[in-house]
Structure 1
Amino acid sequence: MTSPENKEEIVEQTMADSKEGVGTNGSVQIQATKEEDQEEKKEASPKFTRRQILTFISLSLANFFDCCSYSIIAPIYPQEADDKGVGSTVTGFIFGSFSFVMFIVSPICGKIMPKVGAKFMFISGEFVCAGANILFGFVNRMDSGMQFIMFSFAIRAVGAAGTAAAVTALMAIIANTFPNNVAQTIGILEVFSGMGYMIGPLIGGVLDQVGGYSLPFLVIGLAVMTIIVINVFLLPNDDKGKKTELGSFKTLWKIPAIWCTSVTAFAGALALGFLDPTLSNHLKDVNSSLNPTQVGAMFLLIGGMYAISSPFWGWLADKNNATRPMIVSGFFCACVSYLLIGPSPLLHLPTELWVICIGLGCLGLSIGCGLTPAYQDMLVSAKWYGLADDMTTYSIISGQFNSVFSIGTFIGPVLGGFLVDNLTFKWAATIFGGINMALCVLFLTFSLWEFRFFKGRRPAPNTPSQVVTVLDDERAPLLGANC
């Protein structure tokens, strides 16, 4: 039996512990932890270290040259293929094979990355990419016909596999190196991606005129080799020796939010890819006096607005943790943009070049708003459902994101060309506007459902910031941390 004096001492001690934020039944120190969280947030946002800055610069350059590897063949390969007797359809498949191989290889890279290490995968992927670029500069020496086609497919596929490995590892390294600025950092990386896609064809055309077909590929290959040497010394060594278990896509795919966000990444790539084979002819139908430089400027308008705005969207997502509202708003605006690009028969707008220009500029801004936060949203969802906050999770999410984005860049031009051939550009653009609106409604509905039934999204159970044990059963999530 406990004496009255002892009971009073226990009550007083319990009250004292409560004032200090310590629970009596193993509950967590709520007040003290809030203060610790505030201190962690202050400590988590210092200026980047010199090593981080150099790492980011080297990765940005690698991203730029990887995108150049994809786009540099645009002004020079079709003519070479035509001289070798290869039709436009086969040439189109050779172009599209790059994205299709990335779609297949990216999840595999994300799966095995914890075993081999992100740094090794990045360096080896870049090495393969560089070698493939150099080899592709010599396909013009192949015999016409099937030999030329097979070597083109094979070298392009190998280069795509190397790029998939490098980009998947790059995104995982970014998430691991800049854990508090993931969206902002990826947003800045998108500037270099956009520059690579836009400047790649220009580099290819200029170097082809200077030194012939092989020179552009040799220059890009040697540039990637230089980036490899730099990153060997700059990139931090990862912890592959400490944690070697592989990530589980089966576990990742059990998370509903991953599927929903994957659809947004796919749709963003789809929306951008639709215009590649269709916009040029549409612009000439609207104004037959446009020269190739002016048509190219229209493509530059989309990519430029996307690249310029991406750092802002990333900063906004990191600052306000507003990934869901941004994705919904971005794809709603993308719907409106496509209706202007047509312009859609539903709007009864004049078919004028200035209307299309407004639509193209708005599309670049809106796709940036909807696409830039998607990777961060996948990370937040994975952590919230209990996946570890480590390189294993970063790896499989990077593989997932790159895979769905790549298949979008493959299907977008194919679907766009099919719709324009069987309908008109105006109705094809209207259908793509409807696709973006359907995605907007789907994502908004899912987000409201998730918020309603899972009581919002809180910090992930496995992260240090998960410190509060909720005693009220009504506020506990319906799914456990291991779901």
Structure 2
Amino acid sequence: MPVCVQGDGSAGSAQETPRRLSREQLFVLISTASLNLGSMMFYSILGPFFPKEAENKGVSNTVIGMIFGCYALFDLVASLVFGKYLVHIGAKFMFVAGMFVSGGVTILFGVSDQVPEGPMFIAMCFLVRVADAVSFSAAVTASSSVLAKAFPNNVATVMGSLEIFSGLGLVLGPPLGGFLYQSFGYQMPFIFLGCILLLMVPLNMCILPNYESDPGEHSFWKLITLPKVTLIAFVINSLSSCFGFLDPTLSLFVLEKFNLPAGYVGLVFLGLALSYTISSPLFGLLSDKMPHLRKWLLVFGNLITAGCYMLLGPVPVLHIKSQLWLLVLILVINGISTGMSVIPTFPEILGCAYENGFEEGLSTLGLVSGLINAMWSVGAFIGPTLGGFLYEKIGFEWAAAVQGLWALTSGLAMGLFYLLEPSRRKRSKLQNILSTEEERTALLPDEIQP
């Protein structure tokens, strides 16, 4: 993939002749790819077997949803903190330290089955999930910032391409976790993945560049209160909530509805993961080559996602019989629509920040990266927590429809904003012209005095 680079390896201007990847940029890609793969494997590995294992330990579906959801809650807080203080801590140290801690606590999660059932088991699960959330938040916030720093003119393309590794983690996680659990028991999936993460630590210590920058003057509050950023944050919330909803509910629904063994339940998740993996690079390329399409990719992706969740059960009012092939097809379409919406969010927020006076540099990249991770975490907390509760009360079909309504609302709100944006900009431009004329008129008598 050609990118614009200067002689020192940093990204150059958009007008420079594209050349091959520099060594520094290649190392950034390798580091980010390793993190994406590891983080998504751990994120998805629990789905096929943990809900059933937790039920056997006397944990209710609501609490299972909270165990999934607490990860996102602490990821939210940590993302805001790490995004704000990225420059002070150092992007490389934050990345490597986060990956090291995450590998350790992943292995620790594997011994949770030795803890007595009931409150002690629940407390152990919460503690390990919280520690892993904070550590991965540090690594992901740092990696997104470093990636945008290394590829300022190709952010969406590079991020979309690296989603191949996120998707690969989603693809490998559920079936690998399910089959390791079936073959070797509860501990093996966590020990295997934890060791992989720890092996990645020395690699990234050696190859990840160390970017330095001065602290910025702007804050998360100024960024999130920009109307466009607020609406994009709402979109991110809805998408992550839909994703998170599936973690504690889909495996239980498939087991009950279609009587599949745990190893094959993981294969159902492949429809979502594979389609997201394949489509993300395409949407990243479209976002960079045709920036005017970003907003409509974002809007229509959300609307399609809403339709998918209405059909996932399907919702009873549609009177469509639930079938395994239909469920997999809807997950495939949902993976494509999620990629369509997620990939343009980073360049859209970053562009909006620059338009409103944020300085270009690692400080702003840290704010944007931390904000996106935090907003994703809000939905990822609400999705599993609310999903587990609604699954118990109204069943999977209606619970999925509720998630679809959230995506529908955010998609319509974002579409309305983009439709009204040209007229709003014209009014703003006219007001600036009028105010400039008034200032010139007020200054004119002073200018002609001797």
Write the distance in 1 (CA, Å) between the matches of 2:106 and 2:47: 14
Matched with 2:425 is 454
Query: How far has the Cα of 1:246 moved from its partner?
Result: 6.5
Q: Does 1:160 align with 2:133?
A: yes
Matched with 1:308 is 278
Query: How far has the Cα of 1:277 moved from its partner?
Result: 3.7
Mean Cα deviation higher: 265-274 or 431-440 = 431-440
Larger Rg: 1
Alpha-carbon distance change, 457 to 57 in structure 1, aligned in 2, over 3 angstroms = farther
Write the distance in 2 (CA, Å) between the matches of 1:51 and 1:409: 33
Matched with 2:441 is none
Alpha-carbon distance change, 324 to 294 in structure 1, aligned in 2, over 3 angstroms = same
Q: Quick check: 2:51–2:252 contact (8 Å CA) kept in 1?
A: no
Q: Quick check: 2:68–2:248 contact (8 Å CA) kept in 1?
A: no
Which residue, 349, 370, 386 being the options, matches 1:399? 370
How many residues of Structure 1 are paired with residues of Structure 2 in the alignment?
423
Matched with 1:248 is 219
Mean Cα deviation higher: 346-355 or 383-392 = 346-355
Matched with 1:319 is 289
Which residue, 293, 296, 305 being the options, matches 1:334? 305
> TM-score, normalised on structure 1?
0.78
Matched with 1:28 is none
Q: Quick check: 1:115–1:245 contact (8 Å CA) kept in 2?
A: no
Structure 2 letter corresponding to 1:302: L
Write the distance in 1 (CA, Å) between the matches of 2:324 and 2:182: 32
Alpha-carbon distance change, 189 to 251 in structure 1, aligned in 2, over 3 angstroms = same
Report the RMSD for the aligned CA atoms in angstroms: 3.1
1:125-144 CA deviation, whole Å, 9 max, x = no partner? Answer: 11211221233233344445
Write the distance in 2 (CA, Å) between the matches of 1:390 and 1:196: 30
Structure 2 letter corresponding to 1:268: L
Matched with 2:43 is 70
Matched with 2:235 is 264
SS at match of 2:357: coil
Write the distance in 1 (CA, Å) between the matches of 2:120 and 2:398: 40
1:355-390 CA deviation, whole Å, 9 max, x = no partner? Answer: 444332221111110111111111111111110111
Alpha-carbon distance change, 194 to 457 in structure 1, aligned in 2, over 3 angstroms = farther
Alpha-carbon distance change, 441 to 474 in structure 1, aligned in 2, over 3 angstroms = farther
Q: Which runs of 4+ in 1 moved over 6 A?
A: none
Which residue, 416, 419, 422 being the options, matches 1:445? 416
Q: Does 1:366 align with 2:366?
A: no
Structure 2 letter corresponding to 1:251: K
Q: Does 1:117 align with 2:112?
A: no
Which residue, 177, 185, 198 being the options, matches 1:225? 198
Structure 2 letter corresponding to 1:200: G
Write the distance in 1 (CA, Å) between the matches of 2:428 and 2:381: 33
Query: How far has the Cα of 1:108 moved from its partner?
Result: 0.8
Structure 2 letter corresponding to 1:433: G
Alpha-carbon distance change, 340 to 229 in structure 1, aligned in 2, over 3 angstroms = same
Q: Quick check: 2:76–2:374 contact (8 Å CA) kept in 1?
A: yes
Write the distance in 1 (CA, Å) between the matches of 2:44 and 2:361: 33
Write the distance in 1 (CA, Å) between the matches of 2:220 and 2:314: 41
> TM-score, normalised on structure 2?
0.83
Greater helix percent: which structure?
2
Query: How far has the Cα of 1:228 moved from its partner?
Result: 1.6
Query: How far has the Cα of 1:167 moved from its partner?
Result: 0.6
Q: How does 1:111-150 map to 2 (within 5 A)?
A: 111-150=84-123
Higher relative contact order (CA 8 A, sep 6+): 2
Write the distance in 2 (CA, Å) between the matches of 1:358 and 1:78: 24
Q: Which runs of 5+ in 1 are unaligned?
A: 1-38, 459-469, 477-483
Q: Does 1:473 align with 2:433?
A: yes
Query: How far has the Cα of 1:349 moved from its partner?
Result: 4.9
Q: How does 1:35-114 map to 2 (within 5 A)?
A: 40-43=13-16, 45-75=18-48, 77-78=50-51, 81=54, 85-114=58-87
SS at match of 1:43: coil
Write the distance in 1 (CA, Å) between the matches of 2:41 and 2:427: 41
SS at match of 1:276: helix
Identical counterparts, % of pairs: 35
